[in-house]
Structure 1
Amino acid sequence: MEGNIAYCLLTEDGEPSTFQEAMNSSDASQWMAAMQEEIEALHKNNTWDLVPLPQGRKPIGNKWVFKIKRNGDDQVERYRARLVVKGYAQKEGIYFNEIFSPVVRLTTVRVVLAMCATFNLHLEQLDVKTTFLHEDLEEEIYMLQPEGFEEKEKKNLVCRLNKSLYGLKQAPRCWYKRFDSFIMSLGYNRLNADPCAYFKRFGENSFVILLLYVDDMLVTGPNKDHIEELKARLAREFEMKDFGSANKILGMQIHRDRSNRKIWLSQKNYLKKISSRFNMQDCKPISTPLPINFKVSSSMSPSSEEERMEMSRVPYASAVGSLMFAMICTRPDIAQAVGVVSRYMANPGREHWNAVKRILRYIKGSLNVALCYGGSNFLISGYVDSDYAGDLDKSKSTTGYVFTIAGGAVSWVSKLQSVVATSTTEAEYVTATQASKEAIWLKMLLEELGHKQEYVSLFCDSQSALHLARNPAFHSRTKHIRVQYHFIREKVEEGTVDMQKIHTNDNIADFMTKAINTDKFVWCRSSCGLLET
């Protein structure tokens, strides 16, 4: 019994983790209906045929996965049961060849939301009901019959799969290829900047953009009819679920105020969940993620076996991972702090764990902060900063940059540089080069979405890095800087990137590289479009 107790703790939201558990739960009838619905969809789709197992072949297993779907306000919408193949039993070459499938970049999603806000576009959301079940399989795969739905007279037969199923390693790729060829046949262009973004122009001033993240789609454009036409054609080809106006994508909530042309992107529900998962729901909130001049190093990692044992009971990696997801989606304000604590994933000490708890306390105090896009300025500008040799372990410098558009951040990075810089100039110069690559990509993305921008301004607070980028004169002190970092020079010369001096006090990338005081931190945060809602 003891094992079961621990096991039941693992599922959140009261979702059963096995078929047995579902059948014994108080919602057994809802779960049964959900499984029935799934099996019917699979049969309708002709997903498998029952056949005797050929000699020398091993069937792979499957399991039921149960999920309670909730809407934006956290209310129960429906019960969902999925039959999932145990794809981890597949061996490459026998069961599959290629499995890579692209998903839309989060930066692209944010840029498109900024466009919607600024130009007051329609924004709709769709999802494909049985994404992975449409695909014809190239490989020969046998599977056991689904638990609870074995056919009585045919107990000894197995399912030979005709169509791809959830859990198969090649499933996402099969689906992407099929969707891609269909949408291209409707005259949409796949963007070079992002292979999961599609664009079609209708005459002078109308267009439709579609973003694909596995089975979630965002569709936007100025003309409702063109969007409806696309939805109708998709519905004829795939089983679609139309959500109407978008209010949620990848766990991020989208709030709109069309009269003021503003869009807010937040993860309030997700952050509340992680606060309670790590027992921090009642902690005292604080105003910055890390104290000013905060430094940690690997010397704080456990030295004794005792300490190691104590730390092994701490959910360090999952806490950092949960924070990282928030940081990547909507929270540039914790990027620097999460970057610091993630370096000690392999062997965290007490101090490192305290730092993680501190970030959670900061999150508690800023649950209502959301990324806001809106405003008439639809130009990208970038801010770069670096913290010279800020890492105590290897003396590496930290790169930080933020790109904003329509008043909100769309792209940000805070990470250790791969080379050890020998001067602040070099550290800033390396940062500027990394940022200029992102600038060029953003410029290309916007151009493909119909917004040509001549150059991207990069604001930098290091006078010497600026001179170096603008002035190709050879200097004995810079001869060791690797050739690859002179990329920024070419871009400045050809006019793609315009580097400009900015005072440190006005540089919003400051909080991407080090722990700073509350006033400056709050200013940087709001300059990135992170506002209290």
Structure 2
Amino acid sequence: MHEELENFERNHVWDLVEPPPNCRPIGTKWVYKNKQGEDGMVVRNKAILVAQGFSQKEGIDYKETFAPVARLEAIRILLAFAASKGFKLQQMDVKFDFLNGFIEEEVYVRQPPGFESARFPDRVYKLRKALYGLKQAPRSWYARLKSFLLKSRFVMGSVDKTLFLLSRGGDTLIVQIYVDDIIFGDSSHALVSSFAEQMSREFEMSLMGELQSSKALRVPSSIKPKTRDILKKFNMCDSKPMTTPMSTNTALDADEDGEAVGQKEF
């Protein structure tokens, strides 16, 4: 919790002020989360301060809330394109993504529970940047990242607004955004390294490297060996390959007398 509030101070998220007349500050609460790795093991305990956005009033505390999010189909196309061109996709995870988004509205929140000021217990925080839970938080983060990429001479996709392209010489760097997960790649190592350094200077990064998993999907580092391992595990190495493994018209009934299996394993 102290780490979370220190990040707020470092990112200049808010200012402690006297509440203006007729001010109805938005409540805040702590959310505790166990962050899991790809293997399902807990790798970090997190405390997140969240604004109770359900109490926001349209036209007063927020105007627009929409923020584009990459479709799963778009990420699959990107994976297929990278495989066909023979280059590896990289991944970066922006730390405190919503804290990077500036908000246009005048929004006040209550002091965090358990961390009220002893000198000014009646004061409220005026937000400079978005908090988790605010209705406009995803939009403000996307606007900040989009502005940064366009200033860096990227071109936004005409259909997919979460896809950005940077052409230099004969190479094209592809960047796909999924909330705070940023997937990018190109056959030119120099262009990829330059982009990674540029992002690190602008934002705090918590994860960088070859794409392993993201919020949108789980991606094994090498798909063919992984598939082979699964076939071997379930004794299916000699099975006959089929384009469509099962007829689409097959109707399945529950096997009431069958032995229960662990669904997660499959």
Q: Which TM-score tier does this pair reach, normalised by the shorter chain?
A: 0.7 to 0.9
Q: Which of 179, 182, 203 is 1:214 aligned to? A: 179
The secondary structure found in structure 2 opposite 1:253 is coil
Q: CA deviation at 1:159?
A: 0.9
Say whether the 8 Å CA contact 2:34–2:43 is kept in structure 1. Answer: yes
Stretches of structure 1 lacking an aligned partner (at least 5 in a row):
1-34, 269-286, 295-353, 368-533
Q: Is the 8 A contact 1:117 1:263 kept in 2?
A: no
Counterpart residue number, 1:82 = 48
> Hey, which of these two has a bigger chunk of helix by percent?
1
Quick check: 1:210–1:220 contact (8 Å CA) kept in 2?
yes
Query: Could you say which structure has the larger radius of gyration?
Result: 1
2:215 is aligned with 1:243: no
Shift of 1:363: 9.1
- Equivalent position of 1:228 in the other structure: 193
Cα displacement string for residues 457-479 of structure 1 (whole angstroms, at most 9, x for unaligned residues)? xxxxxxxxxxxxxxxxxxxxxxx
d(CA) in 2 for partners of 1:67, 1:79 = 6
**Cα distance in 1 between the residues matched to 2:191 and 2:265:** 39
Amino acid at match of 2:148: F
1:143 aligns with 2:109: yes
1:292 aligns with 2:250: yes
The AA in structure 1 aligned to 2:220 is H
Aligned to 2:15: 49
TM-score (norm 2): 0.84
Identity within the alignment, %: 36
Corresponding residue of 1:190: 156
Q: From 135, 142, 151, give the equivalent of 1:169.
A: 135
1:126 counterpart = 2:92: yes
> 1:293 Cα deviation (Å)?
4.8
TM-score (ref. length: structure 1): 0.43
| Cα distance change of structure 1 residues 118 and 157 upon mapping to structure 2, 3 Å threshold | same
Q: Specify the alignment match of 2:238 in structure 1.
A: none
User: Residue 16 of structure 2: SS of its match in structure 1?
Assistant: strand
How do 1:266-345 residues align onto structure 2 when only pairs under 5 Å count?
A: 292-293=250-251
Is residue 78 of structure 2 the alignment partner of residue 112 of structure 1? yes
SS at 1:46's partner residue?
coil
Name the residue aligned to 2:221: 256
| Rounded Cα–Cα distance in structure 2 between residues aligned with 1:44 and 1:157 | 20
Distance 1:88 1:114, change over 3 A: same
Alpha-carbon deviations, 1:294-325, whole Å to 9, x = none? 7xxxxxxxxxxxxxxxxxxxxxxxxxxxxxxx
Q: By how many angstroms is 1:254 displaced?
A: 1.0
Off by >6 Å, runs of 4+ in structure 1: 287-291
Aligned positions of 1:436-447 closer than 5 A: none
Cα offset, 1:125, TM superposition: 0.7
Q: Is the 8 A contact 1:199 1:208 kept in 2?
A: yes
CA contact (8 A) 1:289 1:362 kept: no
**In the alignment, is the contact (CA less than 8 A) between 1:117 and 1:262 conserved in 2?**
no
Secondary structure of residue in 1 paired with 2:66: coil
Q: RCO (CA 8 Å, sep 6+): is it higher in 1 or 2?
A: 2
CA 45–128 in structure 1, closer or farther in 2 if over 3 Å, else same: same
* Alpha-carbon contact 1:95-1:141 (below 8 Å) kept: yes
SS of 1:207's equivalent in the other structure is strand
Q: Quick one: distance in 2 between partners of 1:97 and 1:188?
A: 28
Structure 2 residue ranges without an equivalent (≥5) = 231-244
Instruction: Using the TM superposition, give the Cα deviation of residue 241 of structure 1 relative to its aligned residue in structure 2, in angstroms.
Output: 2.3
